[in-house]
């Protein structure tokens, strides 16, 4: 409603004046309205994060086993199980809490400052201290931190892309406008999260925190449920299946034993032994650490992972839906084409080309004249400090100033030659701007603006250094040139000049002009994006551009980065049926003039088609899509706080190529997690077969609960963890994305079965050979043999290729962890720990037999690999 009131009414409504509020009144309003910050969508709750770790089915089963051990007064068993459970939980907690803390710290660093008038004095405060009724001053480069009604204005333009998706600056005004005006048409309002790109203004704050337009949209996020990532879904499903098997086996074991006349508690203990032998209790910790390593690695490459499972989900991404401005492009306008003297010139880097041949532009007076008008009719500021030139101002005027620098024309030097007398600012109605300058007693009007407007006001043209008449046919030819440049998605401005009399007025300075030429600007693509797109193609990942810009602009960028140019505009999409909509979304690459609701619908359509979708976004208008996507990717530099809060990943450099690098790392994480899981399951299969065999054939248990937990602790910790730092496979970005329905344990069962059977045969033969003579020694041999077998399994899990080809010692962490695990087992046998676990000392001959027999596993699998990859 504030846009429909005049300035006086707004000030009266808020009981304020242009001299600002008093400090006492500010304190009262802070209590009433609260701090000017958006509510945390998610808060860091250490207790909630910690207890989240106990939701694992594996951990729950272990806790039940611990309680039973306590009930039957097996205190050592209870203690060891409890320690392992707590260890796993603390590892998961520390990694998740660390990630959340990093995001919180990043948010605190991004609180901007604002200039405010209080008690008639201009002061700078934190934006969080603003209250409704405050009078603020904004100028070029400022980020607006509250919704405000403009009081006074001086050529103000704002970039509202974060709110509306429109990338070009919006002209602002101070007069009241009709109540029914849409958000984008409220020219007398400036909004939280938008950016001042030109001019300055004084405004009164009308809304803060969640009452702003940003806040209203942010509140919608509260109603969107956070969905589980594919990894979480697969692991949940896997855990439930294993849990059912574990519980069933434990119950069956107890029932069979009791029916056989065995003691109930002893058979329940046997069932627990079986359960513990199957549970991969170290797996949650290993997966958490794997993802934590990935997070640290990705952060070094400018990708901040907010949620652990997102690191793996990246490896499954099949579609990247990216915005254009700032992600694929530099978010900086550049003049790349000029038309002057009836010739079209290209500008590539700092070089000028005519008909594909490099030229010296200083030899072309018309180019000099054209680019000079671009800085004579320009409000950008060019500063030189420490031999470094910086340009400030409106993106378009910055581009013009930079283009002139390529000719050696420095704005300050040129404008000092001709004194600025008068400016007629650009308006959306006139679509042009003029500045009158004076040199000696000569006045010249320099004009720039929309090509059709400038051409219609021109009566002459500068050609070959001569001023000639411009007739209707000549104007039509110029319009044709302009349309041709525009079809290449360039933002085209026309430039003209005119000598004027001392008693000039706006009409005389902007009519009867002499046409000089066009300058075509483009927000150029980032250099590394083209290669990143090629990587996506090779990796089978589809890239779709979703932008609020025009189709012409989007297609031009797409061509430059080798992206398919088949596209559709928003208004066309809205007309389609649901079935046709899904088909078009699948087939098209570019989606232009897209509003937030339509972007969300596109993401839902892709997910419905079983795609794993990563979506980039920076503004409030992107929040719904970021939340809906499998992977929401927010911008760290130009992104809004609320967009970062709902994302899974933050790009610290806002660069598309960083997403591709993160996907590469995600695939690497997926590979290494699969290796760890394969190692865990293969080892536990051996334990399952051994315990089941003993139960079925009325043999003493070869493995008791406590030694099993000890074995799992030393084999499932460092050795398994060492697989997480295995180097990536060379073909990692040449494979197609992993099918969304594919379980992370797919294609490992054959290995698990063979490894489990081989280990079982080795350990059960050793047990049968010794158990009648000495049951305790036999159990020691079985546990030690299982440890050796598992170490050889870990080594074989390093790669699908032969370990000699990847380098046996290339993973030093793995080599050392294997040696350390074996030393720990030997320590448990030959130290007082043997009393805790019931171990007996083994001779060197017995150790030699164990080592030799267990090495058969490595020999078998590496031989199989050599035969499979033999060329």
Q: What is the pLDDT of residue 165?
A: 64
823-834 pLDDT, tens digit each: 999 999 999 989
Q: What is the mean pLDDT of residues 291-312?
A: 73
- Look at 87-91, 130-134, 459-463 and tell me which has the smallest mean pLDDT: 87-91
Residue 493 has pLDDT above 60, yes or no: yes
Domain parsing of the chain, residue ranges? 1-244, 308-328+527-654, 332-524, 671-871
Q: What is the mean pLDDT of residues 157-182?
A: 80
Task: Read off the pLDDT band of 57 (50, 70, 90).
Answer: low
- Look at 256-270, 340-354, 378-392, 853-867 and tell me which has the smallest mean pLDDT: 256-270
- Domain 671-871 grouped into CATH 1.20.1110.10: yes
Task: Read off the pLDDT band of 223 (50, 70, 90).
Answer: very low
678-725 pLDDT, tens digit each: 887 787 788 778 877 887 788 888 887 778 878 877 887 678 778 878
Q: What is the pLDDT of residue 774?
A: 92
Q: Are 785 and 848 in contact (CB under 8 A)?
A: no
Residue 305 has pLDDT above 50, yes or no: yes
Kindly list the catalytic residues. Answer: 323
Task: Read off the pLDDT band of 109 (50, 70, 90).
Answer: very low
What SS3 string covers 574-596? CCCCHHHHHHHHHHCCEEECCCH
User: Sign (positive/negative) of CA torsion 801, 805, 811, 812?
Assistant: positive
DSSP E strands in 488-589: the ranges are 491-500, 513-525, 542-546, 567-569
Q: What is the pLDDT of residue 417?
A: 93
CATH of 1-244, one of 3.30.70.260, 2.60.40.2310, 2.70.150.10, 1.20.900.10: 2.70.150.10
Q: What is the pLDDT of residue 224?
A: 46
Question: Greater confidence, 140 or 362?
Answer: 362
Q: What is the mean pLDDT of residues 113-131?
A: 86
What percentage of the chain carries pLDDT values higher than 70?
A: 84
**CATH class entry, domain 332-524:** alpha beta
Angstrom distance (rounded) from CA 60 to CA 495 = 74
Angstrom distance (rounded) from CA 583 to CA 605 = 9
Q: What does pLDDT average to over the chain?
A: 83
Q: What is the pLDDT of residue 110?
A: 46
Q: What is the pLDDT of residue 445?
A: 96
Task: Read off the pLDDT band of 844 (50, 70, 90).
Answer: very high
Superfamily (CATH) of domain 308-328+527-654: HAD superfamily/HAD-like (3.40.50.1000)
Task: Read off the pLDDT band of 648 (50, 70, 90).
Answer: confident
Write the DSSP symbol of residue 143.
B
Q: Do domains 1-244 and 308-328+527-654 have the same CATH topology?
A: no
564-599 pLDDT, tens digit each: 989 999 889 999 999 999 999 999 999 988 888 899
Q: What is the pLDDT of residue 44?
A: 61
Helix, strand, coil percentages, rounded to 5, for the chain: 50, 20, 30
Q: What is the mean pLDDT of residues 120-140?
A: 87
Q: What is the CA radius of gyration of the chain?
A: 35
- Look at 53-62, 788-797, 824-833 and tell me which has the smallest mean pLDDT: 53-62
Q: What is the pLDDT of residue 781?
A: 95
Question: Greater confidence, 422 or 496?
Answer: 496
Angstrom distance (rounded) from CA 813 to CA 727 = 12
Q: Which residues contact 207 (CB under 8 A, 6 or more apart)?
A: 132, 146, 147, 192, 213, 215
Q: What is the pLDDT of residue 403?
A: 94
DSSP secondary structure letters along 239-264: HHHHHHHHHHHHHHHHHHHHHTT--H
Question: Greater confidence, 336 or 303?
Answer: 336
Question: Greater confidence, 237 or 815?
Answer: 815
Task: Read off the pLDDT band of 26 (50, 70, 90).
Answer: very high
Angstrom distance (rounded) from CA 687 to CA 783 = 9
Q: What is the mean pLDDT of residues 602-626?
A: 87
Angstrom distance (rounded) from CA 804 to CA 790 = 19
């Amino acid at each position: 409603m504030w846009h429909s009131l005049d300035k006086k009414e707004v000030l009266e409504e808020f009981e304020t004046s242009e001299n600002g509020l008093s400090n006492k009144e500010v304190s009262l309003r802070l209590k009433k309205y609260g701090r000017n910050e958006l509510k945390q969508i998610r808060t860091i709750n250490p207790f909630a994060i910690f207890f989240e770790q106990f939701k694992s089915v594996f951990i729950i089963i272990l806790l039940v086993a611990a309680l039973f051990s306590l009930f039957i007064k097996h205190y050592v068993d209870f203690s060891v199980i409890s320690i392992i459970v707590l260890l796993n939980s603390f590892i998961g907690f520390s990694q998740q809490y660390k990630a959340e803390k990093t995001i919180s710290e990043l948010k605190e660093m991004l609180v901007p400052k604002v200039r405010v008038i209080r008690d008639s004095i201009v002061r700078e405060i934190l934006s969080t201290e603003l209250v409704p009724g405050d009078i603020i001053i904004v100028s070029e480069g400022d980020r607006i931190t509250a919704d405000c009604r403009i009081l006074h204005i001086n050529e103000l333009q704002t970039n509202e892309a974060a709110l509306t998706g429109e990338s070009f600056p919006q002209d602002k005004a101070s007069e009241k406008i009709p109540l029914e005006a849409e958000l984008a048409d409220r020219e007398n309002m400036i909004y939280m999260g938008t950016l001042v790109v030109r001019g300055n203004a004084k405004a009164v704050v009308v809304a803060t925190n969640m009452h702003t337009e940003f806040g209203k949209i942010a509140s919608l996020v509260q109603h969107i449920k956070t969905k589980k990532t594919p990894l979480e879904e697969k692991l949940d499903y896997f855990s439930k299946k294993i849990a059912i098997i574990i519980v069933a086996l434990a119950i069956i074991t107890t029932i069979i034993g009791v029916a056989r006349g065995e003691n109930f508690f002893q058979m329940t203990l046997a069932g627990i032994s079986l359960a513990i032998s199957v549970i991969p209790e170290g797996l949650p910790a290993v997966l958490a650490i794997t993802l934590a390593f990935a997070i640290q690695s990705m952060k070094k490459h400018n990708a901040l992972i907010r949620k652990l499972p997102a690191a793996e989900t990246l490896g499954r991404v099949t579609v990247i839906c990216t915005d254009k401005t700032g992600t694929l492009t530099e978010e900086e306008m550049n003049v790349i084409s000029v038309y002057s003297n009836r010739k079209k010139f290209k500008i590539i880097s700092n070089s000028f080309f005519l008909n594909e041949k490099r030229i010296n532009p200083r030899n072309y007076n018309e180019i000099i004249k054209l680019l000079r008008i671009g800085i004579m009719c320009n409000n950008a500021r060019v500063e030189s400090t420490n031999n470094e030139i910086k340009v400030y101002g409106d993106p378009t005027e910055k581009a013009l100033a930079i283009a002139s620098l390529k000719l050696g024309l420095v704005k300050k030097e040129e404008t000092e030659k001709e004194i600025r007398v008068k400016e007629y600012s650009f308006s959306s109605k006139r679509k042009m701007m003029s500045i009158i300058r004076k040199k000696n007693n000569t006045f010249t009007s320099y004009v720039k603006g929309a090509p059709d407007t400038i051409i219609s006001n021109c009566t002459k043209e500068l050609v070959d250094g001569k001023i000639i008449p411009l007739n209707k046919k000549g104007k039509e030819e110029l319009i044709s040139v302009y349309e041709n440049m525009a079809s290449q998605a360039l933002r085209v401005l026309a430039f003209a000049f005119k000598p004027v009399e001392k008693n000039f007025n706006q009409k005389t300075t902007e009519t009867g002009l002499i046409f000089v030429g066009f300058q075509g600007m483009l927000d150029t693509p980032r250099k590394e994006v083209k290669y990143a797109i090629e990587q996506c193609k090779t990796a089978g990942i589809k890239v779709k551009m979703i932008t609020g810009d025009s189709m012409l602009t989007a297609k031009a960028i797409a061509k430059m980065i080798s992206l398919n140019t088949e596209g559709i505009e928003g208004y066309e999409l809205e007309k389609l049926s649901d079935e046709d909509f899904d088909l078009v979304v699948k087939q098209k690459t570019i989606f232009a003039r897209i509003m937030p609701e339509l972007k969300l619908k596109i993401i839902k359509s892709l997910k419905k088609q079983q795609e794993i979708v990563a979506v980039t976004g920076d503004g409030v208008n992107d929040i719904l899509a970021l939340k809906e996507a499998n992977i929401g990717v927010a911008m760290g530099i130009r992104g809004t706080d609320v967009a970062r809060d709902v994302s899974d990943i933050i790009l610290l450099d806002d660069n598309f190529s960083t997403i591709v690098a993160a996907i590469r790392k995600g695939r690497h994480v997926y590979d290494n997690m699969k290796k760890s899981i394969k190692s865990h399951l293969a080892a536990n299969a051996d334990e399952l077969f051994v315990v089941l065999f003993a139960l079925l054939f009325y043999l003493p248990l070869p493995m008791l609960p406590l030694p099993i937990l000890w074995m799992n602790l030393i084999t499932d910790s460092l050795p398994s963890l060492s697989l997480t730092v295995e180097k990536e496979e060379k073909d990692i970005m040449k494979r197609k994305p992993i099918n969304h329905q594919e379980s992370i344990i797919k294609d490992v069962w054959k290995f698990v079965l063979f490894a489990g059977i081989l280990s079982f045969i080795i350990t059960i033969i050793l047990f049968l050979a010794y158990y009648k003579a000495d049951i305790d020694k036999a159990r020691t041999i079985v546990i030690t043999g299982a440890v050796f077998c598992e170490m050889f399994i870990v080594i074989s899990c390093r790669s699908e290729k032969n370990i000699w080809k990847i380098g046996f010692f290339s993973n030093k962490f793995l080599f050392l962890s294997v040696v350390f695990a074996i030393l720990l087992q030997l320590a448990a046998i030959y130290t007082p720990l043997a009393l805790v676990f019931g171990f007996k000392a083994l001779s060197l001959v017995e150790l030699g037999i164990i080592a030799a027999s267990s090495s058969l596993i490595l020999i078998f699998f590496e031989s199989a690999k050599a035969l499979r990859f033999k060329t």
